Amino acid sequence: MNVIVVKNYEEVCQKGVEFFIEQIQKKNNINLGLATGSTPLGLYDKLIEWAQEKNADLSHVTTFNLDEYIGLPKDDPNSYYYYMKEKLFDPLNLSPEQTFLPDGRATDIEKECEAYDQIIKDKGGIDLQLLGVGVNGHIAFNEPGTSFSSNTHEVRLAESTREANSRFFSSMDEVPTHAITMGIGSILEAKEIVLIANGTNKSEAIQQLVEGPQSEDWPITALQSHNHVTVIVDEEAASLL
Ligand code: GLP
């Protein structure tokens, strides 16, 4: 595992985006795994800036998101579909055929989960996966206790995760209780993973990842088993190392 400690959030995003730009430029076809939350926003802004400046052709890029809330319509500003469309897909002019997210309004959620894993496989798997981390060490929406071999599945969100994410909603009651998430097993199948984190509230999760024993209590420690992981953190997130 390659751990890169930089000064601040701005540098986390700068270092992180370099991995994405390099791969986008190098490959004829590239499947990117994307994340939501506030951490990736700065990286997405830099990617958009680069693409617009270079007038980059992104027709060879396909994206797969990690997760989606169950029950929110696509036009709900809190759905991850809406977030991705607004923050990245539209500014990059990525078409719906290039961008995949689990459908949180599917009538048969189990079938939707299987279909999502299948489409990723059919498209050749994820080349480069971006990850953030929750305060309790969750990756995507894989909460503590999730099996490291899990595929895409439905989850009940931990109350602490709902609380952390409630800042985007007008009240706690509106925060969905369930989500679809790529499993830890599905995430580990990515050829390369870049995890970004900033701030002291992520320092314990980062400490567990870098120094802790591998344990389902800290989903992030599953990444210890992957042979191509880069962790980019600011000084605050690295403060317990
Ligand atoms: C959500 C997402 C995760 C993300 C986490 C941290 O729970 N499902 O993919 O890593 O939030 O978000 P933030 O970057 O806002 O701290």
Q: What is the CATH number of the domain that holds 146?
A: 3.40.50.1360
Give the model's pLDDT for residue 123.
Answer: 97
Active site amino acids? 67, 136, 138, 143
Give the model's pLDDT for residue 224.
Answer: 98
Split into its structural domains, the chain has a count of 1
Query: Which ligand 1 atom is at minimum distance from the Cα of 161?
Result: 7
Do the domain assignments include residue 85?
A: yes
Query: Which ligand 1 atom is at minimum distance from the Cα of 199?
Result: 16
Do the domain assignments include residue 109?
A: yes
Do the domain assignments include residue 239?
A: no
Q: What residues contact 32, with CB distance under 8 A and at least 6 apart?
A: 20, 23, 24, 61, 62, 63, 64, 126, 127, 128, 129, 130
38 CB near ligand 1 (under 6 Å):
yes
Give the model's pLDDT for residue 13.
Answer: 98
Do the domain assignments include residue 241?
A: no
165 CB near ligand 1 (under 6 Å):
yes
Query: Which ligand 1 atom is at minimum distance from the Cα of 140?
Result: 9
Per-residue pLDDT of the chain (241 residues; tens, 9 = 90+): 999 999 999 999 999 999 999 999 999 999 999 999 999 999 999 999 999 999 999 999 999 999 999 999 999 999 999 999 999 999 999 999 999 999 999 999 999 999 999 999 999 999 999 999 999 999 999 999 999 999 999 999 989 889 989 998 999 999 999 999 999 999 999 999 999 999 999 999 999 999 999 999 999 999 999 999 999 999 999 999 9
117 CB near ligand 1 (under 6 Å):
no
Do the domain assignments include residue 152?
A: yes
- Please tell me the residue having the least CA distance from ligand 1 atom 13: 37
76 CB near ligand 1 (under 6 Å):
no
* Angle at 233 (CA atoms; ends 148, 32), nearest 5 degrees: 55
Q: What residue numbers bound the domain in which 214 lies?
A: 2-234
133 CB near ligand 1 (under 6 Å):
yes
Do the domain assignments include residue 136?
A: yes
Do the domain assignments include residue 146?
A: yes
Cβ-based burial of 40 (10 A; exposed 0-12, middle 13-18, buried ≥19): buried
Its ipTM equals: 0.97
